[in-house]
């Protein structure tokens, strides 16, 4: 009985090693092919990611440059508007002072309010 089992196992091992010996070569070839395909895929994916990243970085740089340019223009325009506003205030003060010096001219409501506010400030 022991001999029969030993010979049966030995026969199975011979069949298995012969079968797996052939499959082993196919597995090695398939593994090399899969490795080549994987390498090609990884390189292609990496190149695609890099080109995509370069594209959105260029778009982002253009957007940032446009925002900086718009901010500079807005600052210049704000300075012009502020200067115009200050000129208007100065001109109004000049007119108020000029009309206040006319003896037969009564005070306007704006002049009266300005005089009152100056009086209140002086009282502090």
pLDDT on residue 115 = 79
Backbone angles phi, psi at 116, to 5 degrees: -65, -45
Predicted confidence band at 2 (pLDDT cuts at 50, 70, 90)? very low
Alpha-carbon span 114 to 122, nearest angstrom: 12
What's the farthest any 2 CA atoms get from each other in the chain? Answer: 144
Domain ranges of the chain: 2-123
**pLDDT 10s digits, 56-102:** 889 999 999 999 999 999 999 999 999 999 999 888 888 877 766 66
Q: Are 83 and 92 in contact (CB under 8 A)?
A: no
pTM of the model: 0.41
pLDDT on residue 51 = 82
State whether residue 103 is helix, strand or coil: coil
4 has pLDDT over 50: no
Q: Are 111 and 99 in contact (CB under 8 A)?
A: yes
**pLDDT 10s digits, 6-41:** 555 556 666 666 666 667 777 888 888 999 999 888
């Amino acid at each position: 009985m022991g001999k029969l089992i030993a010979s049966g196992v030995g026969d199975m091992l011979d069949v298995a090693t012969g079968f797996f010996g052939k499959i082993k070569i196919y597995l090695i070839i398939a593994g090399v092919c899969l490795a080549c395909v994987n390498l090609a895929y990884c390189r292609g994916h990496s190149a695609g990611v890099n080109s995509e990243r370069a594209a959105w970085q260029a778009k982002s740089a253009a957007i940032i440059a446009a925002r900086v340019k718009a901010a500079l223009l807005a600052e210049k325009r704000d300075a012009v508007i502020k200067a115009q506003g200050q000129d208007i205030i100065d001109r109004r003060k000049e007119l108020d002072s000029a009309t206040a010096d006319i003896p037969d001219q009564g005070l306007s409501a704006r002049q009266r309010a300005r005089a009152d506010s100056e009086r209140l400030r002086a009282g502090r």
